[in-house]
Chains A and B, each alone.
Chain A
Amino acid sequence: MARSSRSSIARHSMAEQEPSVRITNFDEVALGYDLTTAVEEAQRCLQCRHSPCVSGCPVGVRIPEFIKALREGDMWDAVAKLKDKNSLPAVCGRVCPQETQCEEVCVLAKRGEPVAIGRLERFVADWEREHGIRVPPVASSMGKRVAVIGSGPAGLTAAGDLAKLGYDVEVLEALHEPGGVLVYGIPEFRLPKEIVKIEIGYLESLGVKIRTNVVIGRLYNVAELLESYDAVFMGTGAGLPMMMNIAGENLNGVYSANELLTRVNLMKAYQFPEWDTPVRVGARVAVVGAGNVAMDSARSALRLGANEVHIVYRRSREEVPARAEEVHHAEQEGVIFDYLTNPVEILGAEGWVTGMRCIRMSLGEPDASGRRSPVPIEGSEFEMVVDTVVMALGTQPNPLAFSQAPGLERNRRGAVVADSATGRTRLERVWAGGDIVTGSATVISAMGAGRVAAMDMHAYLMGQSRGPWLTAAEPA
């Protein structure tokens, strides 16, 4: 096919549940491509020699190669090319912010719409799952034991890579279900839990042992792990919810997004009382914040029966940090966006939320980070009538895992100091990666960090790279 005819094909949309239907269920919103559509979309790729798309992907997925295999009909080869760099493609195809990563730098993006790399990735991964995942050969045991703390994308990736190399890997997870944010945070309608389960089952088939209900910092601490394991990877994420510290925040009806989402996703409160854990979402809900977590909370609230859901955000639409697709879906579903608005107090009666006092904001001069900082407009306060408030303001690393880990240096925001090129911390034989180092980031960057650490752990344990132990610390 000629280059010009390739670029004249329009980007293929993906089938979705109708907004009016999907807000009544928790089933997946986006339905994926069928084979014909996927192959047609794959035809759009120009197979650029310098493949800028690859450099836009934090783990360097071999994008042109898997797309080529796909359009030539060699599906198993497409799978192999894709999984060479990405061990959780069914997840990433669904949740990566492609528009700021691989797709942003696709050459087609400059002239129109980029190749739908994420959707193709999802298609290939789903195809593999439907056809039976093949387990790659695993090196025989080297008799070295590695502990991985936390079973989010960072920990799972490190564990998988190390298992393939022949290490005896044990993942120690605090909750009763492995997967980290993929199981307790991101809702079913965006990432079906069955998919996460299968991806984890694949890692187990590589020999990874997952031990749930193990809370590091309570049952064991890092110092003890170093006695019984040759190396430790910390991937405990950034699970500590931040609150605003305004009056009324402890009223009944005020949730951290983590609590709301954990009840709904991990504990299946949307199936209460068939499942035992309840959740209370009223008729009028305000979600404070505008990241992915806020979108997930708002859209979950709609599905739990709220009549009116507001996103309350102190900056403007341009600064919204959530993935474009999530914002678009939330708007389609009727979520109301109150930009340039910030809560100052939560109002209540008899212990329950009855409203929220807010102030209007305007955007001032850009600050050091280049973002225009919001400034309150004096005298613009007003009240919103709401019965549920969800705080989705971001999270920090949960300090629990750090108890009894002297020598582990942390920065002001509670994140572990680790070298981004190796994952090494200040404590010998301890590596870290993912949200625990960067603060709340993305699935794919956490996976990338898990992979980087696994490679360095291998070099270290093989005696190829003993020292120096973390000379240049990355300021996180």
Chain B
Amino acid sequence: MYQIIAKETLTPVTKMFVISAPEVAQKAQAGQFVVLRVHEKGERVPLTIADYDRDEGTITIVVQEIGKSTRLLGQLEPGDRLASFTGPLGRPTEIENYGTVVLVGGGLGIAPIYPICRSLRAAGNHVIAIIGARSGDLLFWEERMRSVTDELIVVTDDGSYARKALVTVPLKELLESGQTIDRVWGIGPAIMMKFIALTSQPFGVKTIVSLNSIMVDGTGMCGACRVSVGGRTYFACVDGPEFDGHLVDWDLLLSRQRMYRDDEAIALERFSQPESQSNREAR
């Protein structure tokens, strides 16, 4: 079970995996995530479901390699098996015919908005997506995104590809253009989601974000993933991960994401030493 069927390098820091998980694929919906362990001593890593194929029985994930666990995952090849794979977790995106919707995917956030765009479009919405990355080489899935949207706007921070702008710039232009926008989704790094929410707030357009707080079980049992929304504490893994971006306490999320920074550095350093004990064992 949980065998890797295919792997693709999307950018220098992002890899895509197609994983055999027939039961999860049957049930997966846009907006949900999985928790996987790469090896027996591994962390439980939460990753968004970027795509699912019910016929093939597969789940697609896109991973940005930032620390030890994601780099270990990045080293796996087709044929390898994961130690565990649990899902689907979290509440699905609320799919309805809202009218015109704008989905903003920054960096890695392109992957999670893809299935949401597809579902929203199938529900009859006019789907506009804005995708962006720091530079052109970090951008992926442009064609895929085009296939599930009515309009696609591409930007890069440095202008090395497409238009030079932050994702919030075209979002603001759309909101100011006078056309009715019924709902916005913003997914990406927490700091980007914060600015997406701040951009749409003056226009009063409801904006949904997907909160990537630190998680352990993903089933509502530990409270590691606590977030504050509208002054109330929620467990992101079961109450979310999607919440109303205008009500999120962003500073708390950003602060809690840093909780293990020192330990993560230790893990990564040990992992990166070429012949360290943990490195050999991990393979």
The residues of A with any CB-CB pair to B shorter than 8 Å are: 174-176, 184, 212-215, 218-220, 239-241, 243, 245, 249-250, 252, 255-256, 258-259, 262-263, 267-268, 271-278, 280, 351, 398-400
Contact = CB atoms under 8 A, between A and B. Distances in A.
B221 A241 contact: yes
Contact of A250 (B37, B43, B226, B277): B226
Contacts of B216: 259, 262-263, 267, 277
Contacts of A214: 86
A271 B278 CA distance: 12
Interface stretch (B95-103, B129-137, B158-166, B255-263): B255-263
Contacts, number: 109
A398 B221 contact: yes
A218 B233 contact: no
B264 interface: yes
A176 B223 contact: no
A258 B222 contact: yes
19 contacts: A174-B86, A213-B84, A215-B219, A219-B88, A239-B221, A243-B223, A250-B228, A252-B256, A258-B223, A259-B222, A259-B223, A267-B43, A274-B278, A277-B216, A278-B260, A278-B264, A280-B260, A280-B263, A351-B258
B191 to A, nearest CB: 15
B74 interface: no
Contacts of A212: 84
A399 B233 CA distance: 16
Given A274-B41, A275-B41, A280-B259, A400 B84 contact: no
B146 interface: no
B255 A351 contact: yes
A219 B252 CA distance: 31
A268 B44 CA distance: 12
B61 to A, nearest CB: 15
A179 to B, nearest CB: 14
B24 interface: yes
Contacts of B233: 243, 245, 249-250
B84 A176 contact: yes
Interface string B247-283: 0000010011011100110110010000001100100
B88 A241 contact: no
B86 A252 contact: no
B220 interface: yes
B217 A175 contact: yes
Give 6 closest A-B pairs by Cβ, nearest first. A278-B263, A351-B255, A259-B222, A176-B84, A256-B223, A213-B86
A113 to B, nearest CB: 39
B16 interface: no
B41 A250 contact: no
B125 to A, nearest CB: 26
Given A243-B223, A259-B216, A278-B264, 11 more contacts: A175-B217, A176-B83, A240-B221, A241-B222, A250-B252, A250-B256, A258-B223, A259-B222, A268-B41, A273-B270, A277-B216
A237 to B, nearest CB: 9
A280 B264 CA distance: 11
Contacts of B84: 176, 212-213
Given A219-B23, A273-B278, A278-B264, A252 B219 contact: no
Contacts of B89: 215, 218
B114 interface: no
A277 B263 CA distance: 9
B20 interface: no
Nearest to B34: A213
Contacts of A250: 226, 228, 233, 252, 256
